[in-house]
Amino acid sequence: MQNPWDTHLGMGASSSKHDQEPRSAPKTYSAPALERGFNVIELLAQAPRGLTASEIAAGLDLSIGEIFRIIVVMERRRWLNKDPETDQYSVNSRILEIVFRATPAEELTVMAGPHMRELANKIDQSCHLVMPNGRRGLVVLRQQNPGDIAFIVRLGADLDLVRSCSGQVLLGFGDDAWVADVLEADMALSPKDRAAVMNRLKLVRSRGFEMRPSARTNGVTDISYPIFGLGGRVVAALTIPFMARIDGSQVFDEYAAQAELASTAKRISTELGWFERDERIVPLSADGRAEAGAAKSRPRRLRLKDNFPA
């Protein structure tokens, strides 16, 4: 079965009888200007404040002459913005808009938006939606809570699938071949770490969600549920970076927020064509027991301190 998350388009070997190349060595085509344009975008993605044309050229190990016309055309097509005061170029947000229109992200965000807004307003916590993007995760939609204090994740943020809460939910319900590819590409994982990740993913799938302290921010508990589409295929992860308040002003604790998140994920999945028979989205109560209707053999909720990686 073809990997549904594979974002690389391969050019197969020619079927012409005049083509003498073996099938094991497909043709490769070169488009230097196009590749340089992509390289410019990838370089600027690492420099949110922007870079001048000379800095872009130096970053790509090219001369100004080799890159200048490409930058000018990209600016004219509104792929790049140029600051008139600093002459620094930055990526135009139009790119994200185009990506949304060209992928299932648009349908998903349009459908999920109202439900996420309702969730954020009800529990007074922000939430965000993460979709697989090759071997990484991409934040395609976020909703800020209405209160005075909010913890939100940047729209368009690039996430580590192996170590983030959202990523482990996507991997936990993902295609085996894709999961294996993501783990094999992570050179920082030792064999022992890889085994620990696989055990964690099995746990995520068995209980239907992930809930753990944030791997990056103290005082935040990440809670994430899968969003399913037709046939039970996971298409996204809906996540709350739950921020606890020490003044006791919050109405929902993390377990109540978890239950609301589970219900929201189920509603979005249903609108995308998911059926109960495909996958089960079952919230757990605060004491770790499955709510009514869930299987009695459901594994206990993992303690929050049992986090990977340490």
What CATH number is attached to the domain comprising 145?
A: 3.30.450.40
Let me know whether 55 and 143 are in one domain.
Answer: no
Q: Does a structural domain hold residue 11?
A: no
Q: Does a structural domain hold residue 53?
A: yes
Let me know whether 111 and 145 are in one domain.
Answer: yes
Calculate the alpha carbon distances from 148 to 92, 124, 165, 226, 250 in Å.
Answer: 29, 10, 25, 28, 12
What local confidence, expressed as pLDDT, does residue 4 receive?
Answer: 32
Residue 295 has pLDDT above 70, yes or no: no
Let me know whether 81 and 177 are in one domain.
Answer: no
Residue 58 has pLDDT above 90, yes or no: yes
Q: Does a structural domain hold residue 4?
A: no
Let me know whether 194 and 256 are in one domain.
Answer: yes
Question: Tokens 């998903």, residue?
Answer: 108
Report pLDDT digits (tens) over 273-285: 887 655 555 444 4
Smallest Cα–Cα separation from 270: which of 106, 115, 100, 103?
115
What local confidence, expressed as pLDDT, does residue 246 receive?
Answer: 79
Q: Does a structural domain hold residue 27?
A: no
Q: For residue 170, what pLDDT band results from cuts at 50, 70 and 90?
A: very high
Residue 81 near residue 75, CB atoms below 8 Å:
yes
Let me know whether 188 and 127 are in one domain.
Answer: yes
Residue 267 has pLDDT above 90, yes or no: yes
Q: For residue 9, what pLDDT band results from cuts at 50, 70 and 90?
A: very low
Q: Which of 42, 70, 92 is the last residue of a domain?
A: 92
Question: What is the DSSP annotation of 126-162?
Answer: -EEEEEEETTEEEEEEEE--SSS----PPTT-EEETT
For range 286-294, the mean pLDDT: 39
Burial code of 218-228, b = ≥16 C-beta within 10 A, e = fewer? eebbbbbbbbb
What local confidence, expressed as pLDDT, does residue 93 receive?
Answer: 76
Q: Which of 92, 111, 133 is the last residue of a domain?
A: 92
Let me know whether 125 and 208 are in one domain.
Answer: yes
Residue 229 near residue 235, CB atoms below 8 Å:
yes
Q: Could you tell me the residue range of the domain that residue 61 belongs to?
A: 32-92
Separation of alpha carbons 136 and 167, rounded Å: 8
Q: Does a structural domain hold residue 67?
A: yes
Separation of alpha carbons 91 and 82, rounded Å: 9
Q: Does a structural domain hold residue 248?
A: yes
DSSP state of 44: H
Let me know whether 51 and 178 are in one domain.
Answer: no
For range 24-38, the mean pLDDT: 79
Separation of alpha carbons 158 and 137, rounded Å: 6
Let me know whether 47 and 124 are in one domain.
Answer: no
For range 5-34, the mean pLDDT: 52
For range 183-192, the mean pLDDT: 92
Q: Does a structural domain hold residue 17?
A: no
Q: For residue 292, what pLDDT band results from cuts at 50, 70 and 90?
A: very low
Q: Is the peptide bond before 146 cis (omega within 30 degrees of 0)?
A: no
For range 6-17, the mean pLDDT: 35
Residue 11 has pLDDT above 50, yes or no: no
For range 149-172, the mean pLDDT: 91
What is the sign, positive or negative, of the torsion defined by CA atoms of 188, 3, 109, 274? negative
Let me know whether 245 and 127 are in one domain.
Answer: yes
Separation of alpha carbons 214 and 8, rounded Å: 31
Q: Which pTM value belongs to this model?
A: 0.62
Domain count, the chain: 2
Calculate the alpha carbon distances from 5 to 109, 132, 177, 186, 273 in Å.
Answer: 18, 7, 10, 17, 19
Q: Does a structural domain hold residue 66?
A: yes
For range 226-240, the mean pLDDT: 90
Report pLDDT digits (tens) over 70-122: 999 999 998 999 999 999 999 987 777 676 666 667 778 888 999 999 999 99
What local confidence, expressed as pLDDT, does residue 24 receive?
Answer: 55
Helix then strand then coil, % of the chain, to nearest 5: 40, 15, 45
What local confidence, expressed as pLDDT, does residue 1 receive?
Answer: 35
Let me know whether 86 and 117 are in one domain.
Answer: no
**Higher-scoring residue by pLDDT: 167, 11:** 167
Let me know whether 82 and 110 are in one domain.
Answer: no
Percent of the chain predicted with pLDDT > 90: 51
Query: What mean pLDDT is reported for the chain?
Result: 80
Residue 288 has pLDDT above 50, yes or no: no
Number of neighbouring beta carbons within 10 Å of residue 258: 25
CATH of the domain at 58: 1.10.10.10
Let me know whether 165 and 187 are in one domain.
Answer: yes
Q: For residue 287, what pLDDT band results from cuts at 50, 70 and 90?
A: very low
What local confidence, expressed as pLDDT, does residue 305 receive?
Answer: 34
